């Protein structure tokens, strides 16, 4: 089987290779199993030095990496450059924040590596999202086998090459091209001590069923049904700006994108007017053009799926109020001008399995779970309901690299070893 990634605009094959066979995957896992104990025994300062060297190389090759991302998945050039910058910043952050010892109730808790970690990653954020899996895993002393999306294998190979140049010992970060079967093989293999997955809910559920019987660790970041909640006291201009910008980022192809907007009836008309006005000013065009607000979708199939979703919404009563403008050079099949659709649903029943969802037809709006109000006391209860009533594994979670989420990722890649600091009382 060949793995090919194509430029969404030109259709040109950007990267091509053979998918790994079961035999090659077995060999890669044997290499990882043999490599990680020496890496785990490597001083933390030396591991950090390699991560910092990788960050320097990412900075040095930033233009080439950004160009590769744009060519492979169709991201706007500015977005690709930002992703490369975030990757370098992330590497330096994890180099400065290794797994820490903790003292709790008189016990000393030390973090120890798990062994071999499998990273299964998506195409839409093909560099920084995978980095948030293999950076903390490597810093914790693990080996990583990485199954990137078939649509973004080229950038994965480039990133692994930079790590090799940074001095990472062989066998500690291996790219395994292939489809869903490769991910299934990894999740079912007892040599894989942990799995970190980002992708669709359906795929995540299937992989979890393979990991669960052997009680291995798994972290799932899956698609969300994210809502924007706009209260009557919100600044409607700012609310519309936040909704549109988040809805159209990466042409709406993100798990943190807006899927629906819940707005107080008193300001519904005003927000609709603002959304219409802003949507009509957007320009859909080539990802490398400075005037482009929305680039192409990843493929013609993705565009047809978006069209079908919009058609289904209209058939169930939604109205298309506005659409973005298509530039003259946006002629490829993958271009899809985003629309604003509207369907009043205030009296519809709420499906709690999907968070605060008044069961509207799926529309053109996609956006991350945000709350727009001038009274901050409203934020926590609404955020909690959005998070705890969602079964998708993503809504309400923080995705930026920072103190708390960064350390959580490090802990996913390490086990706890507890040592009591004094004898336990008897009797």
List, for residues 8-67, the tens digit of each pLDDT value. Answer: 999 999 999 999 999 999 999 999 999 999 999 999 999 999 999 999 999 999 999 999
At residue 321, the pLDDT reads 83
Q: Answer yes or no: 255 catalytic.
A: yes
Distance separating alpha carbons of residues 85 and 97, to the nearest angstrom = 19
Question: How far is CA 64 from each of CA 35, 67, 86, rounded to the nearest angstrom?
Answer: 30, 5, 15
Domains of the chain: 2-223+400-420 (3.40.605.10), 226-388 (3.40.309.10)
Cβ neighbours of residue 400 under 8 Å, at least 6 residues apart?
A: none
More confident residue, 222 or 409: 222
Band of pLDDT at residue 347, cut at 50, 70 and 90: very low
More confident residue, 98 or 342: 98
Q: The tokens of 426 are what? A: 């008897």
Residue 254 parent element (H or E) = none
Winning range, highest mean pLDDT, from 79-83, 305-309, 345-349, 389-393: 79-83
Q: The tokens of 96 are what? A: 């400065």
Q: Report the residue count for the chain.
A: 427
Longest CA–CA span in the chain (Å) reads 82
At residue 362, the pLDDT reads 33
Using DSSP's 3-state secondary structure scheme, residue 374 falls into coil
Q: How many CB atoms lie within 10 A of CB 317?
A: 12
Distance separating alpha carbons of residues 403 and 390, to the nearest angstrom = 25
% helix, strand, coil for the chain, step of 5: 45, 20, 35
> Which of the following is catalytic: 158, 255, 274, 413?
255
Tell me the average pLDDT across 114-126: 96
Q: Is the pLDDT of residue 426 over 60?
A: no
For strand 370-372 and strand 226-230, is the pairing parallel, antiparallel, or unpaired? Answer: parallel
Residue 62 parent element (H or E) = helix 62-73
Q: How many CB atoms lie within 10 A of CB 56?
A: 15
Beta bridge partners of 341: 320
Band of pLDDT at residue 367, cut at 50, 70 and 90: very low
Q: Which of 324, 318, 314, 328 is nearest to 278 (CA)?
A: 324
Q: Strand ranges (DSSP E) for 294-343? A: 319-323, 325-326, 339-342
Q: How far is CA 360 from the centre of its chain?
A: 26
Using DSSP's 3-state secondary structure scheme, residue 390 falls into strand
Phi, psi (rounded to 5 degrees) for 339: -125, 160
Distance separating alpha carbons of residues 239 and 216, to the nearest angstrom = 42
Q: Is the pLDDT of residue 363 over 90?
A: no
What tens digit of pLDDT does each residue of 318-334 get? 888 888 888 877 777 88
Residue 197 parent element (H or E) = strand 194-199
What tens digit of pLDDT does each residue of 255-278 get? 888 878 888 889 999 999 999 999
Q: Answer yes or no: 221 catalytic.
A: yes
At residue 326, the pLDDT reads 84
What is the chain's mean pLDDT, rounded? 83
Q: Which of 365, 362, 343, 345 is nearest to 279 (CA)?
A: 365
pTM of the predicted protein model: 0.83
> Which of the following is catalytic: 72, 83, 221, 274?
221
Name residue, tokens 């298309």.
Answer: 320
């Amino acid at each position: 089987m060949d793995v090919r990634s194509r430029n969404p605009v030109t259709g040109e094959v950007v990267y091509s290779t053979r998918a790994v066979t079961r035999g090659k995957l077995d060999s890669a896992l044997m290499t990882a199993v043999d490599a990680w104990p020496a890496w785990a025994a490597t001083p933390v300062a030396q591991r950090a030095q390699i991560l910092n060297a990788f960050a320097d190389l990412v900075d040095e090759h930033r233009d080439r990496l950004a160009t590769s991302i744009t060519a492979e998945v169709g991201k706007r050039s500015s977005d690709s450059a930002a992703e490369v910058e975030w990757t370098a910043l992330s590497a330096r952050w994890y180099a400065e924040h290794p797994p820490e010892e903790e003292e709790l109730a008189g016990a000393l808790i030390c973090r120890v590596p798990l062994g071999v970690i499998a990273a299964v990653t998506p195409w839409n954020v093909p560099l920084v999202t995978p980095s948030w899996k293999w950076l903390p895993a490597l810093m914790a002393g693990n080996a990583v086998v990485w199954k990137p999306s078939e649509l973004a294998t080229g950038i994965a190979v480039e990133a692994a090459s930079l790590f090799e140049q940074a001095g990472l010992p062989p066998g500690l970060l291996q790219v395994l091209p292939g489809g869903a079967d490769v991910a299934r093989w990894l999740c079912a293999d007892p040599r894989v001590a942990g799995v970190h997955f980002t992708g669709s809910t359906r795929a995540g559920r299937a992989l979890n069923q393979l990991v669960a019987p052997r009680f291995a660790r798994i972290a799932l970041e899956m698609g969300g049904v994210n809502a924007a909640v706009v209260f009557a006291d919100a600044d409607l201009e700012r609310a519309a700006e936040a909704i549109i910008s988040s809805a159209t980022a990466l042409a709406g192809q993100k798990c943190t994108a807006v899927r629906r907007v819940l707005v107080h009836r008193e300001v519904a008309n005003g927000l609709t007017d603002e959304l219409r006005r802003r949507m009509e000013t957007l320009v859909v065009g080539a990802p490398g053009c400075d005037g482009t607000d929305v680039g192409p979708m990843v493929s013609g199939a993705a565009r047809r799926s978006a069209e079908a979703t919009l058609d289904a919404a209209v058939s169930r009563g939604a109205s298309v109020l506005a659409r973005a403008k298509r530039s003259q050079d946006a002629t490829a099949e993958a271009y899809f001008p985003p629309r604003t659709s509207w369907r009043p649903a205030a009296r519809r029943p709420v499906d709690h399995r999907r968070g605060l969802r008044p069961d509207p037809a799926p529309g053109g709006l996609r956006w991350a779970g945000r709350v727009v109000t001038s009274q901050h006391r409203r934020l926590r209860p609404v955020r909690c309901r959005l998070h705890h009533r969602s079964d998708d594994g993503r809504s309400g979670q923080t995705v930026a690299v920072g103190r708390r989420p960064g350390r959580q990722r490090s802990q996913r890649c390490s086990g706890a070893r507890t040592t009591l600091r004094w004898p336990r009382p008897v009797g």
